[in-house]
Structure 1
């Protein structure tokens, strides 16, 4: 049938109505392209080409030109059918015809079709050349059939076809696939093949190889490649070095980037190379290195670009150096003949906001139109965040949000969330809740990764005890599960943290989330995109949800060990960077300890880093010390007698820490959301100032480090409070808290007779973590809390049954003991918040204060520098007796039995340890 069609005469079907010249390539091409949408058969193509086949027999190059043009049009099916038409018409086929069709298959990712054609060449008595193998291998490599591509290249070497640089670059430069061979393995295989065939790798192969190895975290291989190029007297091309430096910038390995530059003979140092290196410095917090590179560029022939200055301004913003950021924006850039752009302005605004200079950030925003710059949503969100950081300018933040539509800008979720946070910090709860609810509603139905994580965050900031919020969050978790593999690591962390804070436990979501976290931690590139704070959030979420296997917790701790080893502590390391890193590390360690998966190696590595950071902060503070003598009050092992019992006292003083007795009514004001509307409360910080003048002990004024207070104690309660005198001691004690080795024991008198068999209460406690003065409650949306109990005695007073109980807490939730005891129906005596009015009135005449007293603290002795804590084995135990008012109330009770009487007498003399 096909032969008859070829032998028939037919009119030219070209789009050009004029007669078709036999040597006019465009005419048959136009015909074939015009027929392509209709998926023509071979018979139809034979009829269309019948007037041209004769000329192709005489001049095969004409057919090659047509087939090459079809390849550019990405028409592999038409090309293959034309090849069969040519064979049936006895047009002599050659390797050039086949290579053109192979190219069409490669361009269209038809690797199976390319292989069929390559194998069919032998049946046509045609020998494939190296170009045939190159094209087929490239088609396989680009279509996730990399193993077949390798076999083709092996065949090319076995058949002595003479592989070229293009042969190996077809594999090395292929995109990442899902095959078992990682991209960096392909790249190194290709380079090894080039070396074996004595070929010189070109820039494309080297760039692909360095990029693949660097992206996979194979830093030694990247350095080895550059070193071999240098030893071989080969100038390193700029793109190759830029590729390696860009990978370093992604991971924040500025030291590795520096070693690459120092170890390489750069062929042409241009502004792009130095910009990439500066980016690596900036992302790793090495702003001084970025500034040094800028100085070098100004002095050399390389002209700094706007990107250069933007990188420096961003570096200063990360380092909270607003003066340097503004100087670069207003002085250095104009001196170089460059005008700041929106990126420059936004970075400078961010620097001002981080330093509390909200008015400067606002001034930069207002000046943007005058400088010919268009303020975008990022500009407004940066300014709103700066206003929110002050904790006071919430009304101005709302005004900026209101002005956005007038500037033809959409109030996106970032701006709305920033405004809600500003209101929250200013304790404008109602306004904040309205904004969060509006933001959450606007995000409903948004399937993007950012939309899902933002909506979860908004729901978590609303009242978590509401069933409606948790129901929405549960449905959101189910809808987010299919999108987890497309989320960026930080978005995944936000989603996990938000759901965990609401105690949303969807098994399918949690299982898939754990799998994705494992994927992130297994990849250097993805792990580098996960900030340490987010890593801690992930660990906290999995621990509180009771999810995650031991291997996952081990992987998170191994990642923490790497980051602790890479964190450099210098005199000029920003204090905010130290606080952010240490808080994230402590959060991760607490989560692992809570899950029972804490590794000694992770704890020891974190301990050494925390001590270094603490010593560094102490040294900085001591450089500005004004010589002063502290007022030392007499030490006493028990609270003062008589009227002095209403004042704090020192129970134990060590060179780097204190243990204080806090009377009832005094507030442990650590600067974290202290109430502003109750100035009448006695503040424990004022007493600490008398003991430790801030000029000599700066930590007592350092709100970032809670003024040295390690923990709180409820205002109506009494007992021991631990205070660090130095930053090093503070971090040592914080680590003990995270690891669960710091012991806090209490003695409580509660209503009712507790069963002696009750030894613990495990119930989630919910409270507002942002300073809202409200009751804590047991709720499914709360945080895990565990209280250990030991019933000591049963007593009676005026017909009321009471229990004396020793308590130890595993977790330190707000009002945890009072909330747990009220939850099981045994509120503490004289607790106006967590007991009924009738119960409170009945106990007021009996006891004048809340009967909850912290009587025992136990801490490890800090190990000397370079020595692990486990090697010391020493602990400090501090025990104080029951205060006189509480002891008097206890003496007015009647023991239920002789065992209770014996226990009460013993505790009135000397409190016992919880066991």
Structure 2
């Protein structure tokens, strides 16, 4: 976009006569064509006692400076010196300065130059305003870009296709997809047919805004307008579907590429694989990965990562480990995301998780907190509380920050092993650090106490969660506290807990397990009438659950 602006902004400078004059001016000033040499030379000549600098010299210097983004301060200094030395400026020079500042993302400076044009008795033209729109686009000020576009007709500058395209592109930063679509639809009324850039920018805005339906509809509009779509059009629409988890639409778009005489690339496949991952379609993700070489597309790390993540969600740890092996065999370097997904996939098989972690240490890829959290979670399921505790200490030794997930996962290993004191000790350590407990950690600790700990500790923990606005109660913690009371033959306490969560202002909603525990407490306490009431509540709960599905 910027290159197109630059070419149009300097049409006058590109004429044969002007090109010769510009080259002569550069040689006369002692420059050899490099912008780093011409600009300082022009400034020195301007401030000499007998300045030999003309408007052509300044325009040539600014035009050459577009090749080096580091020269924008000198360009700005040269421009302001024009007014100090009472030298004139024309629209070509001003536009050249705006374009240079736009290319270096100096939107505010570009606006200053634009606003100073009337002081030189220069009227901005369509190229100046289009360059300013692009400057606002790069500065992530889409409202200002739209404001300039809307004001162009009243200012006597009819916007052209580049003006519209720049304004549409600016809408991406603000995720203003509706505005982008409105700008696109107004182009025909301005006797401008939207081109591929117009549509692709609008599709990209819809993609960033999470509007996959609008993105797909725009593809259909492009086909009806007899525009030849490119791979970028489809890739952006596939990405929009991927973000929304619309894996079926993403696969349909991928399959439509050959029908449009377009070859899918690695971005096309990676987007479709990621869509399958978000849609819990691990088999489709693996099949797409396997189909990439058949389409003469070499899978990259991102494609493998998406497929491994799909296997993780599908709880297919064997396939995840196999894909990791295939990635290494393809001479690709696995990233930390690769290993994290593979370890998380091995959550139910802690030995495999440890093996993947050992493989990770053989690479230069450094494990992060997520790596160790996933490993601790896998080890906890294997009741290896010693390993989980050692892993928790290892996080700190690697100068990594332990978070609430780290502690909660380690506490879960004590829960399974019936070592409630160990879980309580970890909770105290967590509270002594800067890490605040949450619902998961509190529920895990209560569950550990329910397994083998004193029932009154479980009740105190549950009560503290109710009073803690940060952690808050959960149905899991309430059920665990009720289980602790049942295991200790304290039926009345279990029924009191059940009555509390059944109140209208309760922060949790009882489930089937809650009502089942209450029925058991009533039976053991010989409270048959109460049991009948709880059974009625259980019936209503099951009825609501069935209707919600």
The TM-score normalised by the length of structure 1 is 0.44
Q: What is the Cα deviation at residue 297 of structure 1?
A: 1.2
**Equivalent position of 2:124 in the other structure:** 163
1:501 aligns with 2:501: no
1:80 aligns with 2:43: yes
1:120 aligns with 2:84: yes
**Equivalent position of 1:277 in the other structure:** 237
Distance 1:818 1:148 in 2: 64
Is this contact kept in 1: 2:26–2:57, CA < 8 A? no
Distance 1:319 1:811 in 2: 27
**Equivalent position of 1:356 in the other structure:** 315
Task: Mark the CA change 1:74 to 1:325 in structure 2 (over 3 Å): closer, same or farther.
Answer: farther
Task: Mark the CA change 1:816 to 1:175 in structure 2 (over 3 Å): closer, same or farther.
Answer: same
Distance 2:119 2:219 in 1: 39
SS in 1 for 2:147: helix
**Equivalent position of 1:784 in the other structure:** 465
After TM superposition, list the pairs within 5 Å mapping 1:711-860 onto structure 2: 767-768=444-445, 773=451, 775=453, 776=457, 784-786=465-467, 814=477, 849-854=490-495, 856=499
Q: Deviations over 1:515-539 (max 9, x none)?
A: xxxxxxxxxxxxxxxxxxxxxxxxx
**Equivalent position of 1:416 in the other structure:** 372
Q: What is the Cα deviation at residue 147 of structure 1?
A: 6.3
Task: Mark the CA change 1:335 to 1:771 in structure 2 (over 3 Å): closer, same or farther.
Answer: farther
Q: What is the Cα deviation at residue 328 of structure 1?
A: 1.9
Q: Deviations over 1:442-470 (max 9, x none)?
A: 135xxxxxxx6x65653565668655544
SS in 2 for 1:437: helix
**Equivalent position of 1:20 in the other structure:** none
Distance 1:771 1:324 in 2: 39
After TM superposition, list the pairs within 5 Å mapping 1:147-186 onto structure 2: 149-150=110-111, 152-154=113-115, 156=117, 161-174=122-135, 183-186=141-144
**Equivalent position of 2:186 in the other structure:** 228
**Equivalent position of 1:365 in the other structure:** 324
Distance 1:359 1:211 in 2: 44
SS in 1 for 2:52: coil
Is this contact kept in 2: 1:238–1:269, CA < 8 A? yes
Distance 1:66 1:267 in 2: 49
**Equivalent position of 1:291 in the other structure:** 251
**Equivalent position of 2:7 in the other structure:** none
Q: What is the Cα deviation at residue 270 of structure 1?
A: 0.8
Is this contact kept in 2: 1:785–1:816, CA < 8 A? no
Is this contact kept in 2: 1:110–1:139, CA < 8 A? no
After TM superposition, list the pairs within 5 Å mapping 1:173-212 onto structure 2: 173-174=134-135, 183-195=141-153, 196-203=155-162, 205-212=163-170
After TM superposition, list the pairs within 5 Å mapping 1:187-336 onto structure 2: 187-195=145-153, 196-203=155-162, 205-264=163-222, 265=225, 267-330=227-290, 332-336=291-295
**Equivalent position of 1:337 in the other structure:** 296
**Equivalent position of 1:133 in the other structure:** 94
Task: Mark the CA change 1:66 to 1:237 in structure 2 (over 3 Å): closer, same or farther.
Answer: farther
Q: Deviations over 1:729-770 (max 9, x none)?
A: xxxxxxxxxxxxxxxxxxxxxxxxxxxxxxxxxxx9675278
Aligned partner of 1:107 among 71, 76, 86:
71
Distance 2:99 2:279 in 1: 46
Distance 1:252 1:785 in 2: 37
**Equivalent position of 1:595 in the other structure:** none
Q: CA RMSD in A?
A: 4.5
SS in 1 for 2:495: strand
- Which moves more between the two structures, 165-174 or 273-282? 165-174
Distance 2:264 2:246 in 1: 19
Is this contact kept in 2: 1:785–1:813, CA < 8 A? no
SS in 2 for 1:768: helix
Q: What is the Cα deviation at residue 831 of structure 1?
A: 8.8
1:438 aligns with 2:394: yes
Q: What is the Cα deviation at residue 324 of structure 1?
A: 1.6
SS in 1 for 2:238: helix
Higher helix share: 2
Distance 1:375 1:382 in 2: 11
Q: Deviations over 1:527-552 (max 9, x none)?
A: xxxxxxxxxxxxx9xxxxxxxxxxxx
Q: What is the Cα deviation at residue 222 of structure 1?
A: 0.3
Task: Mark the CA change 1:156 to 1:367 in structure 2 (over 3 Å): closer, same or farther.
Answer: closer
Is this contact kept in 2: 1:191–1:201, CA < 8 A? no
- Which moves more between the two structures, 139-148 or 238-247? 139-148
Distance 1:366 1:774 in 2: 42
Higher strand share: 1
Q: How many residues align?
A: 464
SS in 2 for 1:338: coil
Is this contact kept in 1: 2:91–2:123, CA < 8 A? yes
Is this contact kept in 1: 2:376–2:388, CA < 8 A? yes
